Amino acid sequence: MKIILSILLFCSVLLADREGGPYIGLGYGISKYDSDGLFKQEKENDSTGFAIYGGAYINKYLSVELGYIDFNSGESYVVVDNTNTAKSISFTTYNVSTLVHYAFFDDILDFYGKFGVGEMSASGLGSSGFTMLYGGGVGVRFNDMFSLKVAYDRYDTDYTQGVTKNDMHIDFIYSAFEIQF
Is residue 4 scored above 80 in pLDDT? no
Is residue 136 scored above 70 in pLDDT? yes
Is residue 152 scored above 60 in pLDDT? yes
Rounded Cα gap, residues 65 and 103, in angstroms: 18
- Characterize the bridge pairing of strands 46-59 and 21-34: antiparallel
User: Other C-beta atoms within 10 Å of 145: how many?
Assistant: 11
Is residue 162 scored above 60 in pLDDT? no
The model's pLDDT over 53-108, given as tens digits with 9 standing for 90+, comes to 999 998 888 999 999 999 887 676 776 666 777 777 888 899 999 999 998 888 88
The pLDDT assigned to 42 comes to 61
CB of 139 closer than 8 Å to CB of 149: yes
Percent of the chain with pLDDT over 70: 73
The pLDDT assigned to 172 comes to 95
The pLDDT assigned to 12 comes to 54
Q: Determine which of 16-20, 36-40, 57-61 has the lowest per-residue pLDDT on average.
A: 16-20
The pLDDT assigned to 88 comes to 78
Secondary structure letter of residue 20 according to DSSP = S
CB of 20 closer than 8 Å to CB of 14: no
Determine the average pLDDT of the residues in 106-124: 89
- The gap between the terminal CA atoms of the chain, to the nearest Å, is 27
Side-chain-side CA neighbours of 178 within 13 Å: the count stands at: 30
In the chain the domains, ranked by start, together with CATH numbers, are: 2-180 (2.40.160.20)
For 6, list phi and psi in degrees, rounded to 5.
-65, -40
For 10, list phi and psi in degrees, rounded to 5.
-60, -45
Percent of the chain with pLDDT over 90: 44
> What global pTM score does this model have?
0.80
Rounded Cα gap, residues 45 and 98, in angstroms: 28
Instruction: Produce one character per residue of 150-160: b if its CB has 16 or more CB atoms within 10 Å, e if not.
Output: ebebbbebebe
Rounded Cα gap, residues 72 and 31, in angstroms: 8
The pLDDT assigned to 87 comes to 76
The model's pLDDT over 125-134, given as tens digits with 9 standing for 90+, comes to 667 778 999 9
Residues 6+ apart with CB under 8 A from 143: none
Please tell me whether residue 12 adopts helix, strand or coil conformation.
helix
